[in-house]
């Protein structure tokens, strides 16, 4: 069935119930849990950290609202630590402070966690290990899906409450589908814009090294650099459009399309296929994971400040 973008349809329900993925996404049986940290129900400060392959994004949430966010290169942890230390100190008089970290780059995550523990004398909780990600999954058994993709899906569904496609344009480009019940079905992974340009340079004799940017509006690349930019820019946009159409045809309804990631604005600004660009989507997902974990602890009768001995 061919479905055109923008058609008003009723979203169908998933044919199968949500299935949790690997046990890695469940809380580990150790005392290092979110509920072992004193938290205030009235005033909570959350430092959310999302470590990607090349960049780290950090955000400061106050009472569930994102007040600040910043992006840094993974090559230098000093400014990352400085920002987090500043936010941590600003909340020193409040009872509820916590650091949640999600990562697809374990070496960087380990170094940053160790530094923060030493400098702040604070525990750094890992999303996906210490804190589960609140999203159903319909995936192959034992599939290990990146925490960033699941967090983006959880945040996107929390915002729109209906079927959606999440496009994350960073080092890699991921195009993932969440159905009308909030179940993550996976999607597609492709090289990001910078990776494609670097591959063209490294695997040819004459193509130059380029930083990614939007190409000229003229459709023809009249020099080598513009030809490369045209190919990468429109190649990614065309891939995303075809995948979204494919998901819609399979699902039987056209989903909302949400873009995020460091290259999202360059790639998708004024692109009619994209319903909204949310630069801080992964950080919002981290905050949602923390909120659900605290609510789950309270519903089981535990106090937020209860320590496991």
Least confident of 1-10, 56-65, 282-291: 1-10
Looking at the structure, do residues 243 and 165 belong to the same domain, yes or no? yes
Looking at the structure, do residues 273 and 293 belong to the same domain, yes or no? no
What's the average model confidence in pLDDT over 296-305? Answer: 56
CATH classification of the domain holding 219: 3.30.420.40
Looking at the structure, do residues 275 and 288 belong to the same domain, yes or no? no
Residue 62 located in a structural domain: yes
Residue 156 located in a structural domain: no
Stated as kind and residue range, the H or E segment containing 44 is strand 44-51
Local structure of 32: helix, strand or coil: coil
Residues carrying an active site annotation: 148
Q: In whole angstroms, what is the distance from residue 27 CA to residue 33 CA?
A: 8
Looking at the structure, do residues 270 and 292 belong to the same domain, yes or no? no
Number of domains into which the chain is organized:
2
Looking at the structure, do residues 126 and 172 belong to the same domain, yes or no? no
Beta bridge partners of 167: 175, 259
Q: What is the pLDDT of residue 205?
A: 96
Q: Is the pLDDT of residue 308 over 70?
A: no
DSSP 8-state assignment for residue 50: E
Looking at the structure, do residues 217 and 295 belong to the same domain, yes or no? no
Nearest to 170 by CA among 269, 266, 47, 285: 266
Looking at the structure, do residues 235 and 253 belong to the same domain, yes or no? yes
Token pair of 274 as six digits: 């994209």
Q: What is the pLDDT of residue 43?
A: 54
Q: At what angle do helices 147-160 and 281-299 cross, to 10 degrees?
A: 80
Residue 189 located in a structural domain: yes
Q: In whole angstroms, what is the distance from residue 244 CA to residue 121 CA?
A: 45
Q: What is the pLDDT of residue 25?
A: 28
Nearest to 47 by CA among 81, 76, 79: 81
Looking at the structure, do residues 288 and 275 belong to the same domain, yes or no? no
Looking at the structure, do residues 250 and 222 belong to the same domain, yes or no? yes
Band of residue 85 on the pLDDT scale cut at 50, 70, 90: very high
Band of residue 60 on the pLDDT scale cut at 50, 70, 90: very high
Looking at the structure, do residues 36 and 116 belong to the same domain, yes or no? yes
Looking at the structure, do residues 123 and 188 belong to the same domain, yes or no? no
Band of residue 93 on the pLDDT scale cut at 50, 70, 90: low
Render pLDDT for 100-136 as a digit per residue (tens, 0 to 9).
Answer: 999 999 999 999 999 999 999 999 999 999 999 999 9
Residue 306 located in a structural domain: no
Q: What is the pLDDT of residue 22?
A: 33
Band of residue 302 on the pLDDT scale cut at 50, 70, 90: low
Give CA angle at 68 (48, 93), nearest 5°: 75
Nearest to 152 by CA among 277, 10, 239: 277
Sheet containing 276-277: which strands, arranged edge to edge? 136-137, 183-191, 172-178, 164-169, 256-260, 276-277
Q: Is the pLDDT of residue 41 over 60?
A: no
Render pLDDT for 136-167 as a digit per residue (tens, 0 to 9).
Answer: 999 999 899 999 999 999 999 999 999 999 99
Q: What is the pLDDT of residue 227?
A: 98
Render pLDDT for 20-39 as a digit per residue (tens, 0 to 9).
Answer: 333 322 333 333 344 434 44
- pTM (predicted TM-score): 0.83
Q: In whole angstroms, what is the distance from residue 138 CA to residue 57 CA?
A: 28
In degrees and rounded to multiples of 5, residue 296 shows phi and psi of -65, -40
Render pLDDT for 172-223 as a digit per residue (tens, 0 to 9).
Answer: 999 999 999 999 999 999 999 999 999 999 999 999 999 999 999 999 999 9
Residue 231 located in a structural domain: yes
DSSP 8-state assignment for residue 133: -
Q: At what angle do helices 193-202 and 224-251 cross, to 10 degrees?
A: 130
Residue 5 located in a structural domain: no
Residue 10 located in a structural domain: no
Nearest to 61 by CA among 102, 104, 90, 93: 90
Q: What is the pLDDT of residue 185?
A: 97
Looking at the structure, do residues 91 and 120 belong to the same domain, yes or no? yes
Q: In whole angstroms, what is the distance from residue 185 CA to residue 164 CA?
A: 11
Residue 154 located in a structural domain: no
Q: Is the pLDDT of residue 48 over 90?
A: yes
Q: How many CB atoms lie within 10 A of CB 56?
A: 23
Contacts of 27 (CB under 8 A, 6+ apart): 33, 129, 130, 131, 132, 293
The mean of the pLDDT values for the chain is: 85
Boundaries of domain holding 270: 161-279
């Amino acid at each position: 069935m061919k479905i055109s973008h923008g058609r008003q349809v009723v979203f169908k329900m998933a044919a199968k119930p949500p299935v949790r993925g690997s046990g890695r996404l469940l809380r580990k049986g150790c005392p290092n849990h979110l509920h072992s940290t004193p938290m205030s129900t009235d005033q909570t400060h959350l430092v959310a950290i999302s470590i990607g392959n090349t960049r780290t994004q950090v955000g400061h949430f106050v009472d569930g609202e994102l007040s600040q966010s910043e992006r840094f290169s993974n090559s230098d942890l000093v400014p990352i630590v400085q920002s987090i230390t500043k936010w941590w100190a600003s909340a020193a008089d409040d009872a509820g402070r916590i650091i949640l970290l999600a990562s697809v780059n374990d070496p960087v995550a380990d170094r940053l966690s160790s530094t923060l523990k030493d400098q702040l004398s604070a525990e750094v909780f890992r999303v996906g290990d210490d804190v589960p990600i609140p999203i159903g999954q319909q995936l192959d058994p034992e599939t290990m899906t990146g925490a960033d993709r699941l967090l983006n899906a959880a945040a996107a569904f929390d915002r729109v409450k209906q079927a959606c496609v999440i496009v994350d344009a960073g080092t890699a480009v991921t195009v993932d589908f969440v159905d009308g019940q909030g179940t993550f079905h996976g999607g597609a992974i492709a090289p990001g814009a910078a990776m494609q340009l670097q591959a063209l340079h490294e695997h040819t004799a004459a193509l130059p090294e380029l930083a990614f940017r939007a190409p000229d509006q003229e459709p023809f690349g009249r020099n080598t650099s513009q030809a490369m930019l045209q190919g990468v820019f429109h190649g990614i946009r065309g891939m995303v459009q075809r995948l979204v159409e494919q998901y819609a045809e399979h699902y039987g309804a056209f989903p909302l399309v949400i873009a995020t990631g460091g290259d999202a604005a360059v790639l998708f600004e004024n692109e009619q296929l994209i319903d909204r660009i949310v630069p801080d989507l992964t950080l919002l997902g981290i905050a949602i994971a923390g909120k659900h974990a605290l609510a789950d602890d309270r519903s089981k009768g535990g106090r937020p400040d209860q320590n496991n001995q």
